[in-house]
Amino acid sequence: MSSKDTCPLCGGTKKSGTTTFTVDGKETLVVIRNVPAIICSLCGNEWLSDEVAANVENIVDEAKNKKHLFEVTQYSEVA
Ligand SMILES: [Zn+2]
């Protein structure tokens, strides 16, 4: 097994799946559902790819611009 598939925290196995990502901004709490992530099957730690992290950042910015107190959205690929 390559170290790429092993959790650096607990030695468990990393698997791809989806997670709910929550960002607590100053004015807006943003919840993004169905974010693709690599999740440790043992300790539950999550990793996002650079591409997914960049998309999440865009989604958070967009949600904050709406000036709502609370925004729940689905993850989607943004161009
Ligand atoms: Zn782990």
> At residue 39, does pLDDT exceed 90?
yes
Q: Model-level pTM?
A: 0.83
Residue with tokens 């607990």: 10
Residues 29, 55 contacting (CB under 8 angstroms): no
Tens digit of each residue's pLDDT (9 = 90 or more) over 40-72: 999 999 999 999 999 999 999 999 999 999 999
What spacing in Å lies between the alpha carbon of 23 and ligand 1's midpoint? 22
> Quick one: fold of 3-74?
Ubiquitin-like (UB roll) (3.10.20)
Residues with CB under 5 A from ligand 1 (ion): 7, 9-10, 12, 40, 42-43, 45
> At residue 79, does pLDDT exceed 60?
no
What spacing in Å lies between the alpha carbon of 37 and ligand 1's midpoint? 14
DSSP-based three-state secondary structure for 54? helix
Tens digit of each residue's pLDDT (9 = 90 or more) over 2-27: 567 999 999 999 999 999 999 998 88
Domain extent listing, the chain:
3-74
Element (H, E) at 59: helix 50-65
Residues 39, 14 contacting (CB under 8 angstroms): yes
